[in-house]
């Protein structure tokens, strides 16, 4: 226990990718699908029970905080099946009591059914649903591998989460063509009974010839020390002014009508930082480096 004048040590944040980049849809803006190119010849993108057990043990032991949060990401993590996450819960059992263990899972919600939602409720998983807004907004960029929109199937999953009383939030990406409908997007979430919302701007670079050659069109970071760095952005990248106007329009409605009933995490984080309470995410922090990603094979990378 920390003394009254002893500052608590911050923990690290890990995004676990137990299925790597494997996903059952193909969003226009998804950079992570390309990351399978980092594993040439790999066919089995699935975290083994051995890697899972070591990860759980080492992550808990490495955390100086009383709460340890496991974040399961992808790709689409539900493609592993619910039994994988039953093994996750079993692997965490020896550490409960010493630490408070929490689980969060980010999903496109297409695979959710009653079995999944009952499991989430029983084991107190917090779920993030990738949902960009109403049908015309969501289906603009979030399509399946046949080019069809996924909105109706996502909303079926959302309704199942609500039916089972599972806590969840919506993670909405904001692109160039969708930034001009801020109140349509915000009111859709509110009217759908979605109380927790997080907005993420889409900002991605066009690939140069060298980037195309290694098949990392979106995933490779800019190389700024070149004579001509690759800083041209994709057609779906949101314009800075448009994203700012998007958030301002939503804030003005939220602050007048919905404080305390609808929680827009962007505003919560900004207000926390403003009052000096710190921020759980990097964009409002003074430094980065507290977040890493662990892939299906146990390899660890900085950030996402």
Assess if residue 249 is contained within a domain.
yes
Assess if residue 6 is contained within a domain.
no
Residues 6+ apart with CB under 8 A from 283: 269
Closest CA to 102 of 125, 135, 79: 125
Q: Assess whether 304 carries a catalytic annotation.
A: yes
Give me the mean pLDDT over the 224-238 stretch. 70
Assess if residue 218 is contained within a domain.
no
Is the pLDDT higher at 206 or at 60?
60
Identify the pLDDT of residue 205.
78
**pLDDT per position as a tens digit, 205-223:** 776 666 665 555 554 555 5
Q: Which stretches within 93-239 are classed as H helix?
A: 114-122, 135-141, 151-164, 182-191, 209-213
CB atoms within 10 A of CB 146: 7
Place of tokens 């907004």: 137
Query: Which residue range is the domain that position 271 belongs to?
Result: 13-203+238-302
Give me the mean pLDDT over the 218-235 stretch. 61
Catalytic residue, chosen from 49, 136, 152, 304, is: 304
Identify the pLDDT of residue 204.
80
Tokens of 23: 């996903």
Identify the pLDDT of residue 1.
39
d(CA 194, CA 191): 7
d(CA 127, CA 158): 10
pTM of the prediction? Answer: 0.89
d(CA 52, CA 65): 21
Centroid of chain to Cα 70: 12
Quote the number of domains for the chain.
1
Residue 273 pLDDT grade (very low, low, confident, very high; cuts 50, 70, 90)? confident
Assess if residue 284 is contained within a domain.
yes
**pLDDT per position as a tens digit, 69-91:** 999 998 999 999 999 999 999 99
Assess if residue 216 is contained within a domain.
no
* CATH code of residue 143: 3.20.20.70
């Amino acid at each position: 226990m920390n003394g009254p004048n002893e500052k608590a040590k911050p923990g690290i944040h890990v995004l676990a990718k137990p299925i790597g980049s494997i996903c059952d849809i193909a969003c226009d803006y998804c950079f992570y699908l390309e990351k399978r190119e980092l594993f040439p010849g790999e066919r089995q993108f699935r975290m083994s029970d051995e890697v899972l057990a070591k990860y759980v043990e080492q992550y808990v032991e490495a955390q100086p905080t009383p709460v340890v949060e496991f974040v399961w990401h992808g790709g689409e993590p539900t493609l592993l099946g619910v039994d994988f996450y039953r093994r996750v819960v079993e692997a965490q059992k020896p550490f409960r009591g010493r630490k408070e263990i929490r689980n969060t899972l980010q999903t496109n919600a297409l695979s959710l059914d009653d079995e999944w939602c009952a499991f989430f409720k029983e084991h107190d998983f917090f779920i993030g649903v990738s949902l960009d807004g109403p049908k015309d907004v969501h289906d603009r960029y979030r399509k399946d591998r046949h080019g069809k929109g996924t909105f109706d199937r996502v909303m079926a999953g959302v309704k199942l989460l609500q039916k089972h009383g599972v806590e969840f939030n919506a993670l909405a990406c904001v692109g160039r063509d969708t930034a001009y409908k801020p109140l349509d997007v915000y009111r859709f979430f509110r009217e759908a009974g979605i109380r927790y919302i997080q907005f993420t701007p889409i900002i991605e670079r066009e690939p140069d010839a060298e980037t195309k050659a290694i098949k990392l069109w979106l995933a490779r970071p800019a190389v700024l020390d070149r004579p001509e760095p690759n800083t041209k952005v994709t057609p779906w990248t949101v314009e800075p002014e448009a994203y700012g106007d998007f958030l301002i329009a939503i804030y003005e409605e939220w602050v007048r009508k919905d404080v305390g009933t609808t929680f827009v995490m962007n505003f919560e984080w900004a207000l926390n930082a403003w009052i000096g309470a710190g921020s759980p995410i990097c964009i409002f922090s003074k430094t980065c480096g507290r977040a890493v990603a662990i892939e299906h094979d146990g390899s660890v990378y900085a950030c996402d």
